[in-house]
Amino acid sequence: MKKAIFLDRDGVLNEVLSDRVKFVNMPEQLFLLEGAAEAVADLTKAGYEIFVVTNQGGVGLGFLKERELKRIHERLQVLVAEKGGHIKEVAYCPHKPKAGCECRKPNAGMLLDLAERYNLDLANSIMVGDHERDIEAGKKAGCKTVFIGSDPTKADIRAPSLFEAVGDILELLK
């Protein structure tokens, strides 16, 4: 079984609710956070499988089409690859926020599905997010957790950015 690093998208890898962009509904609205691609590159070079797990309720609410979301994720993968990183897969929940599905975080459905399909060792994997729902999903899946931001949380580790969390993530995975 392989160890994996699951990353939330908005607020961990890319800007959201910033001066440049409110929500990412088109590929050209995707702006990576400083150091995010380099962080993914460092984690990739360390030998870990990297997955993005993201709630994308805008699809269910009609703000964007799934084909546009796929183009956004393709751009994300290209921008990360340009710095030497590799995202194995981007999993997303397209359902409305209160749809009651198992895939929408704080539920662990996306992580459990990826673990089954890729033979991942969840107990020795990490979920990184910037909301309590990300941390809750990681814990429900049995992962260690890293919170990006300064809010109080029950995560194993807290860091101001993904780039600044790389050392702690690698230490947790030893």
Give the strand pairing for 157-159 and 89-93: unpaired
Tokens of 146: 């890293």
151 a catalytic residue: no
93 among annotated binding-site residues:
yes
Handedness of CA 99, 116, 70, 15 (dihedral sign): positive
130 among annotated binding-site residues:
yes
Burial class (CB in 10 A: 0-12, 13-18, 19+), 2: middle
143 among annotated binding-site residues:
no
Burial class (CB in 10 A: 0-12, 13-18, 19+), 60: middle
CA dist 136 and 53 (Å) reads 13
CA dist 78 and 88 (Å) reads 12
10 among annotated binding-site residues:
yes
103 among annotated binding-site residues:
yes
Q: Which residues of 83-114 are buried (b: 16+ CB within 10 A; e: fewer)?
A: bebebbbbbbbbbeeeeeeebbbbbbbbbbeb
10 a catalytic residue: yes
**Binding-site positions:** 8, 10, 93, 95, 101, 103, 130
**Would you list which residues are annotated within the binding site for Mg(2+)?**
8, 10, 130
Catalytic residue list: 8, 10
Instruction: Extract the annotated binding site for Zn(2+).
Output: 93, 95, 101, 103
